[in-house]
Structure 1
Amino acid sequence: MRRALVLLLTVITGFSGLAYEVTWQKYLGVLLGAHSEATASVLGLFLGGLSVGYWVFGTLTQWLVARGKTNGQPPPLLMVYGGIEASIGLYCLLFPVVFPSVLALSVWLPSGGGLFGFAIDVTLAALLIVPPAMLMGGTIPLLTQALARSLEDATRFHAYVYAFNTLGAFLGAIAAGFVLIPLLGLDGVLRAMGLVNLAVGTIFILMGRTRREVIDLDSGLELQGMSATSLVYGGVALLIGFAMMTLQTTIVRLGGLSFGSSEYTFSMVVAVFVLCIAIGSLAVGALKTIGQAVLPLTLWGLSLWLAALHVPLGVSPYLGHLIRVSFDRDAASFEPFHVAALLGVLALVGPAVILSGAVLPLLFHAMRREVGDLGAQAGRLYSVNTVGSLLGALVGGYVLLTWFDLSQVYRIALGAVVLSAVLITGRTYPGFRWPSASAVVVVLWMGLTVFPAWVPGNLMPGLVRVRAESPTTWDGPPLPTNGTFLFYEDDPTSSVGVIQLNGDDGRHRSLVVNGKSDGSTRGDSRTMVLLAIVPSLFAEKTERAFVIGYGLGISVGELAQLDQMKEVQVAEISSAVVDAAPYFDFANHNASTDPKVKLIRSDAYRSLLRAEGEFDVIVSEPSNPWVTGVEMLYTREFLEAARDRLARGGAYAQWYHVYESDDETLELVLRTYAEVFDHVAIWKNSADLVLIGLRASEPAKHLAQIEARLRLPDYQRALIRVGIKSPAALLVHEAVPFDAIQPALKEGPLQTLTHPRLSHQAARAFFRGDSAALPFTGAGEAARIGRANSLLGIYLQRFGNTVPENTWDTMLRQSCSRGLELCGPVAAAWTHARPNSEALGAALQWATTAGQASWLEFLPVFQVYLGYSPPPARLDAENALLASRWFDEFYSHALPFDPRGLVSLWRHCGPAHRPIPECQAGLEQAHKLVTGQASVAPRFW
């Protein structure tokens, strides 16, 4: 009963331990800025702390047992362990208080970038992670010594402790990644788990008050220092730790390429590894007898499985694609898909990890008769193994990627496993030492040189965005592509490729980062230009700019081309993106060699805080908050830091996609944005939003400033590149004028560093492939402010009722071709103003031919909303509801719809003398819209 209770408690402490690890990975993402760096650091330091703990508490166990023998009293092992668990809980309760100080220190310390900067980052992370991880290292040595019944029982019970603790860790990794962090936030998870550890520690202390004699596990052998046997077994433990942790960080990267670089991928991979380690350990515990061949056979089996995995891992994005297309894109499929993805990872790498999980208990079994103190023996063995794991996470998972690609790093890990198998085989069967030594040379040479490298086209096909089968889905890899890789590089933080797409004389190129396109020179160039130019039009000065993310360099290049611009600082965390920069110089005015451009290899948060002076314009390019690490750029704390770096009258711009997002996610982003900046506006280009935040600037003055700058040659050149040749062509991109969005936002939570809701919410929207709509601003205070502040509306008011034909034509063609909501209202207003215009006829014919006129059948409805014509005689409820949605979708503050037109339309819904419920409900909602009482936008009626 006592041992059963202890094993149950080890499940709970394993749960809390991995919940801590997943949560700390998020904290370190804030501290270090890079997801890959945070992953390597938290895995490495967590295991490094465990290593120190195994050694310290193994030694402490030995000392307590010896003192107990001297005093003639049972050693208080369970009480000591209870104190350790309680200390872990207390530390984690205090962690949210300590973290801000370390974050402030990281900003203050200089960073040289590269490996020097990485060393500083690891040191800071160690201050946070190592102390509690070291305390967690007391579990195995203390409990093994306290509760083993005999020397023979020690192997089995030690395996059970390891397995049950690891089973809890599996559950903790899943729960933290999928439930606890979104629900409680980072601080909340640490507080909850801290209380759990305090409770467990109290139970162990109470159990320890009733001491019992500890079985003497001393084998009677006198320890003669570090023997050759100890060196071999310790070396194997080190190599296996290095190899498997290198494999784990590699699988995390490949998982991002296969399933998308969301928070869930890290949790899944960690969970699979800890589960399989538990299974391997349990398998050893279940063996009645363990022959001498079991350990070498296990290591050779591990070597062969990893060698066989080299080919399927090289096409893992395709395998992930097969899983994805097997599920629908609805919300109900999200969890089943991730279960299937977890099972896929389990099937692929699980057998290897199970075998590796069996290695340590087998090494423990092989060594247990060679030293006298079992607790110290377990501590030393696990200490050496976790030192290897530390090296695997930091060196194999980060440093080696400075010089090698993922395929080569994987083969280095394979070589370490083969070397372990050779060493154990030679130790177990002395007659095979020389043949084994020869074999290792041959196998390592084959592994490092003969195995084919992974093909970039198989790793970076962009399949994470493909949610449905195609005719070639089941034909096997590689899937057909419409381009050629010009560049591919794995760096410590990213896998980066440059694809030259077919056609366009080689000038259509795309930058692919971690399997996802980060932009192309054709499809995204207009947005990237607007991302640079629009905030520059609003800023009082344009002398210094800061850009977050180099990307294709188009925004950087446009800012550098402005005559008044003296300096453009660019924070780019990926060295591979920097290396790829010359491939886009033809599209960005040679930004990579522009003397105005200062490239900073660091994360955005610390780069911005370390920068000297203020900036007139800050541009943030990363636009997919479901991607791990990107969500930090949307937090209140980061936006506040950016705002405080803006000069008075400065402008901040953020690129955001409405595709692969949903209304709730977009509203969370906008709510946080509006909380920070004095004035907020939203501009739009097709499915891209440009969020503009101003620091203490008066929006009413902007139109004159914009027109003055549009007369300057540098601004004209930039906008002509993307087909914008007049103020009207530019101003149609204003979707929500300054200050109109705030009244339309519902109350709700913000995106913060300590409660990062965004990535979890955005990942679900990405999975579904949703499209977000801006909050409805066509009623009440939002409509009033929008109408007053609309730059295009103010511009058109100058003409009165005589807007020139070329202005109407420009607005219609620009808005329709870019998928802007203004398209339909412009056509309706132009039709009313110049019904017999030949230019109007030609423009409508162009829109029809170009497939941009799906709204034409609703032109009469738009004219009702604009007050130009009466409603139709009668219409049914279905068409009334559709017309209401168009009121929402096509509402424009420059040509605002009158809600009274919507009331009039609903009054004509249904038969003249027989009201029907649907029409009555719609009429009630329309009345509420007029009076400012509407609780939902017309799209939800």
Structure 2
Amino acid sequence: MNRKGSAVVLVTVFAVNFLSLVYQVIWTRNIMAIFGSTALSVSTTLTVFLSGIALGGYLGGKWIRKIDNKRRAVGILLAVLGAYCFFVGYLFQVIDLIFGLFHGIESAVLTNLLKLFFTFLILIFPTTIIGSIFPITTYLYSVETGKLGKDVAFIYFLDTFGAALGALISGFILVPMVGLRESSFISAALYILLGILMFVMKGSAQEAAPARQAQAKKPVQLDSVRVFILAALFFSGFSALVLEVVWARYFHLIFGTSIYAFSIVIAAFLMGLSIGSFLIKRRLENMKNPVLVFAYIEILIGGFALLVIRSSEWLEVLYYKLFYLIDSFYVFQAALFTIAFVIMLIPAALMGANFPLAIKIFGRDTETRGEDAGLTFSFNTAGGIIGAFAAGFIIIPLLGLEKTNFLAFAGYLAIGFAALFIAKRQALHYAVCTGAAVAFITGGYLFGSAPSLNYGVYYGGIRHKTIESFLNYKKRMESEITYSKHGFYGLVSVRYNPATRETQILHNGKVDATNSLRDMPLQVMLGHVPLFFHKNPERVLNIGLGGGFTLGAIKSHPNVKQIDMVEIDPLVVEATGRYFREFNNDALADPRISIHVHDGRHFLKTAPNKYDVIVSEPPNIWVSGVSMLFTREFYKIVDDHLNPGGILSQWVPGYEMDVDDLKLILRTIKERFEYVTFWMLKSDVIIFASHTEPVIDPAYIAALLQVPKIGSDVNVSLSESTPDAVISFLSEPQVPFEQLDYYFTGMNSVNTDNLPYLEFNTARNVFHLRKELIKSNQ
């Protein structure tokens, strides 16, 4: 094989997997825009993506033996892939329209099956092509050397290294700065360019000969060792994806839940895989007993994986110190990437080393090297599909992070001991491996600490002036936790502070709602403000439950006849119903209220009803996916589902935004509604939007204040429950309606699904604003 041809193959491997991660991010957000930001939508996308990869790996291995000009075949595949990706955005639009025809279906099972079907329809073709590239390029690169294991290791190194960079570049540059649509077009063009490059390269005689001989030579049959390797790869893939899900959630509880945190954790894991495959490359050909090495590596993966999740206490301390030490947001993110990379390095590198080792063991002969790579790759990926789904939807909700991590450790241990049996080793090896397992368990529990992450250092922890203050507060707070469960969307906790009699609900270590007087004004006035203006609010939609205080305010209005309450996390509904009833007007116990556990945007988009008032109280905007409730497309959905004279009331965390962020939101809303303004309660913002100019009716407000709950809420919020106090508040927004256009002069951007400026702006601005607050308090 000439050097030029080899270089093109290697560049192709790297680029294809770089772009595949870019597309995974893009397609996931496209699917979320259509089907909602639910855990099932994200998991469905990942399942279909990996299924296509597995199918492509299998088919690519089969095709390679029947094709004479393999380079040209790869070129055609890549050109077709690029052409498809050029138009896939339009396919998403078509699917969105078709899916709209099924909006009347009430069965959740049938709806989810339709989502899976449509996702499969869009993604199975391109992902199958992506998956087929691995076995074909493996064959092309190894055809002259005959050293399948060594060459697979190098191909797998480029595969995972490209994917790691793809995760970083898409999360930090392409999506926030270029946009989804433009990034898709650029990536499609690169696929076509790679295809042309591969198409014009001439194949060698060595590449074509095996294809002509393939039918004449009977393939080597699978023996017990090879069957075991396929089974081991399947269960290793299962355990690896379980660990990836566990570690992603673990690091998110420490680093935060922004798309930046997601990108660096996934990239760090993939980078570890790439290093492992690179390091084992030179050692594969000289191994005397590769099955024995495979056994030891599996046991070591499990052991070191056990230690990862026992690092939480010192990891939180390190996060705190780095936050105070580093002033640059991007340098800080680089430091977090380094931390995640170092912590996951050994187990991830061992995973990366064991995959090419398994292919080395499985390899039958030179003619089947591509088929062998594809078959082993597809079995490993198939295990990963089931592992990812099971971890997120079954195992973690049942067992929690630490026990799920231990389950994966046990899985690797079982594979390792099974490999020892296959290798027919003496008792000494069993004793060594048993001793290693005991040492890992003992070391983890003696020198590490159980992950106790109900109070996140990334949010509340860094507000403490010293690390000792944070640790002491965290220790006391953890002792006051009365409810703590891991679910589809992370960790939901409830804390009761007996000293202050304050009850808090926390989501992924961040306080979302409390019954304290400092938080109550915003929580209740968000519901009251639009209902003071609208005289006949028969049907109301409330997006986001929190502690149920806004819902409790809405239900206190006598003219409201029906309320749809939409909350994406079932654990929030459970915790609020159990611990906040006495504080939120028993918000969930009312025959007028229908509770829907769903994504708010998708629910509204598919709702057959129109509303008089829509109240939106989502989580903080920097939380991944939440910005879809602040885009041009969302406000169109709101507009389409408001009755004449209808009102939108939306909460915005002013304390986490700079002025331009708020202007961006208002500018985006003003595209759709003529009358837009906002009020501030301390640093919280209540946005008002309508097509109808609001009218303050003193008599109507006076009548509402006679309702005990409404009068009490107003007294808490405005210090007195008189009509004059309410009228004074309502008539003095931060910016009068007629001056709003002047207020955001110079703000020409809008927040869209394609280019979600707000999600990334707020993630960066939260970092800088906290740094400024800390400096001002010193």
Q: After superposition, give the CA deviation of every residue in 1:269-323 in whole Å (9 maximum; x if it has no partner).
A: 1211221211111122222522323222221211210122231157755553343
Q: After superposition, give the CA deviation of every residue in 1:179-216 in whole Å (9 maximum; x if it has no partner).
A: 11112111111111000000000110111477664475
Partner Cα distance (2:536, 2:256) in 1: 40
- CA shift, 1:82, in A, is 0.8
Q: Which stretch of structure 1 is more off in the superposition, 747-756 or 682-691?
A: 747-756
Partner Cα distance (2:567, 2:58) in 1: 40
Partner Cα distance (2:369, 2:453) in 1: 49
Partner Cα distance (1:158, 1:596) in 2: 62
Tell me what 2:386 maps to: 391
Partner Cα distance (2:206, 2:451) in 1: 61
Partner Cα distance (2:541, 2:439) in 1: 47
Tell me what 1:365 maps to: 360
SS in 1 for 2:176: helix
Identity %: 23
Tell me what 2:775 maps to: none
Question: How is 1:484-883 mapped onto 2 (pairs within 5 angstroms)?
Answer: 484-504=480-500, 506=501, 508-522=502-516, 523-581=518-576, 582-694=578-690, 696-700=691-695, 705-706=700-701, 709-710=704-705, 715-722=710-717, 723-730=719-726, 731-732=728-729, 734-745=733-744, 746-769=746-769
Tell me what 1:87 maps to: 80
Gaps spanning 5+ residues in structure 1: where? 65-74, 773-941
- CA shift, 1:713, in A, is 5.6
Q: State whether residues 221 and 370 of structure 1, in contact with CA within 8 Å, keep that contact through their aligned partners in structure 2.
A: no
Q: After superposition, give the CA deviation of every residue in 1:546-577 in whole Å (9 maximum; x if it has no partner).
A: 11111101111111121121121111111110
SS in 1 for 2:541: strand
Q: Which stretch of structure 1 is more off in the superposition, 96-105 or 217-226?
A: 217-226
SS in 1 for 2:734: strand
Partner Cα distance (1:241, 1:114) in 2: 30
Q: State whether residues 254 and 316 of structure 1, in contact with CA within 8 Å, keep that contact through their aligned partners in structure 2.
A: no
Q: Which stretch of structure 1 is more off in the superposition, 301-310 or 370-379?
A: 370-379
Q: State whether residues 48 and 387 of structure 1, in contact with CA within 8 Å, keep that contact through their aligned partners in structure 2.
A: yes
Q: State whether residues 556 and 709 of structure 2, in contact with CA within 8 Å, keep that contact through their aligned partners in structure 1.
A: yes
Q: How many residues align?
A: 754
Q: State whether residues 253 and 453 of structure 2, in contact with CA within 8 Å, keep that contact through their aligned partners in structure 1.
A: no
Q: Which stretch of structure 1 is more off in the superposition, 51-60 or 168-177?
A: 168-177
Partner Cα distance (1:370, 1:477) in 2: 62
- CA shift, 1:481, in A, is 3.8
Change over 3 Å in CA distance of 1:250–1:312 after alignment to 2? same
Q: State whether residues 407 and 454 of structure 1, in contact with CA within 8 Å, keep that contact through their aligned partners in structure 2.
A: no
Q: State whether residues 111 and 117 of structure 1, in contact with CA within 8 Å, keep that contact through their aligned partners in structure 2.
A: yes
1:24 is aligned, of 16, 24, 27, to: 27
SS in 1 for 2:564: strand
TM-score computed with the length of structure 1 as normaliser: 0.75
Gaps spanning 5+ residues in structure 2: where? 773-778
Q: Which stretch of structure 1 is more off in the superposition, 599-608 or 389-398?
A: 389-398
Q: State whether residues 527 and 688 of structure 1, in contact with CA within 8 Å, keep that contact through their aligned partners in structure 2.
A: yes
Partner Cα distance (1:102, 1:432) in 2: 59
Partner Cα distance (1:509, 1:160) in 2: 55
Q: State whether residues 58 and 138 of structure 1, in contact with CA within 8 Å, keep that contact through their aligned partners in structure 2.
A: yes
2:306 aligned with 1:307:
yes
Q: State whether residues 58 and 141 of structure 1, in contact with CA within 8 Å, keep that contact through their aligned partners in structure 2.
A: yes
| Larger Rg belongs to | 1
2:150 aligned with 1:136:
no
Q: State whether residues 22 and 267 of structure 1, in contact with CA within 8 Å, keep that contact through their aligned partners in structure 2.
A: no
Change over 3 Å in CA distance of 1:654–1:163 after alignment to 2? same
Tell me what 2:776 maps to: none
Q: Which stretch of structure 1 is more off in the superposition, 91-100 or 402-411?
A: 402-411
2:424 aligned with 1:429:
yes
Q: State whether residues 272 and 346 of structure 1, in contact with CA within 8 Å, keep that contact through their aligned partners in structure 2.
A: yes
Q: State whether residues 258 and 321 of structure 1, in contact with CA within 8 Å, keep that contact through their aligned partners in structure 2.
A: no
Partner Cα distance (1:278, 1:502) in 2: 50
2:283 aligned with 1:291:
no
Q: State whether residues 268 and 340 of structure 2, in contact with CA within 8 Å, keep that contact through their aligned partners in structure 1.
A: yes
Partner Cα distance (2:550, 2:676) in 1: 21
Partner Cα distance (1:267, 1:166) in 2: 14
Letter in 1 for 2:79: A
2:265 aligned with 1:266:
no
Q: State whether residues 653 and 691 of structure 1, in contact with CA within 8 Å, keep that contact through their aligned partners in structure 2.
A: yes
- CA shift, 1:172, in A, is 1.6
Q: After superposition, give the CA deviation of every residue in 1:452-480 in whole Å (9 maximum; x if it has no partner).
A: 99867434345424446633449968844
SS in 2 for 1:698: coil
Tell me what 1:775 maps to: none
TM-score computed with the length of structure 2 as normaliser: 0.89
SS in 2 for 1:486: strand
Letter in 2 for 1:294: V
Change over 3 Å in CA distance of 1:124–1:255 after alignment to 2? farther
- CA shift, 1:714, in A, is 5.9
Change over 3 Å in CA distance of 1:566–1:475 after alignment to 2? closer
2:400 is aligned, of 397, 405, 425, to: 405
Q: State whether residues 617 and 651 of structure 2, in contact with CA within 8 Å, keep that contact through their aligned partners in structure 1.
A: yes
Letter in 2 for 1:51: A
SS in 1 for 2:399: coil
Q: State whether residues 223 and 371 of structure 1, in contact with CA within 8 Å, keep that contact through their aligned partners in structure 2.
A: no
Q: State whether residues 735 and 743 of structure 2, in contact with CA within 8 Å, keep that contact through their aligned partners in structure 1.
A: no
Q: After superposition, give the CA deviation of every residue in 1:617-673 in whole Å (9 maximum; x if it has no partner).
A: 111111521111111100111111112211111111111111121122111111111
Q: State whether residues 623 and 657 of structure 1, in contact with CA within 8 Å, keep that contact through their aligned partners in structure 2.
A: no
Tell me what 2:326 maps to: 327
Q: State whether residues 462 and 516 of structure 1, in contact with CA within 8 Å, keep that contact through their aligned partners in structure 2.
A: no
2:62 aligned with 1:59:
yes
CA RMSD of aligned residues (A): 3.3
Change over 3 Å in CA distance of 1:291–1:342 after alignment to 2? farther
- CA shift, 1:42, in A, is 3.8
Q: State whether residues 487 and 498 of structure 1, in contact with CA within 8 Å, keep that contact through their aligned partners in structure 2.
A: yes
Q: State whether residues 111 and 120 of structure 1, in contact with CA within 8 Å, keep that contact through their aligned partners in structure 2.
A: no
2:90 aligned with 1:97:
yes
Partner Cα distance (1:319, 1:114) in 2: 44
Letter in 2 for 1:139: I
Tell me what 1:250 maps to: 246
Q: State whether residues 566 and 596 of structure 1, in contact with CA within 8 Å, keep that contact through their aligned partners in structure 2.
A: yes
Q: After superposition, give the CA deviation of every residue in 1:846-865 in whole Å (9 maximum; x if it has no partner).
A: xxxxxxxxxxxxxxxxxxxx
Partner Cα distance (2:621, 2:192) in 1: 36
Partner Cα distance (2:122, 2:350) in 1: 32
Q: State whether residues 422 and 437 of structure 1, in contact with CA within 8 Å, keep that contact through their aligned partners in structure 2.
A: no
Letter in 2 for 1:27: N
Q: After superposition, give the CA deviation of every residue in 1:710-736 in whole Å (9 maximum; x if it has no partner).
A: 466664344235444123323336322
Tell me what 1:167 maps to: 161
Q: State whether residues 245 and 392 of structure 1, in contact with CA within 8 Å, keep that contact through their aligned partners in structure 2.
A: yes
SS in 2 for 1:586: coil
- CA shift, 1:85, in A, is 1.1
2:470 aligned with 1:471:
no
- CA shift, 1:425, in A, is 1.8
Partner Cα distance (1:105, 1:450) in 2: 53
Q: State whether residues 294 and 357 of structure 2, in contact with CA within 8 Å, keep that contact through their aligned partners in structure 1.
A: yes
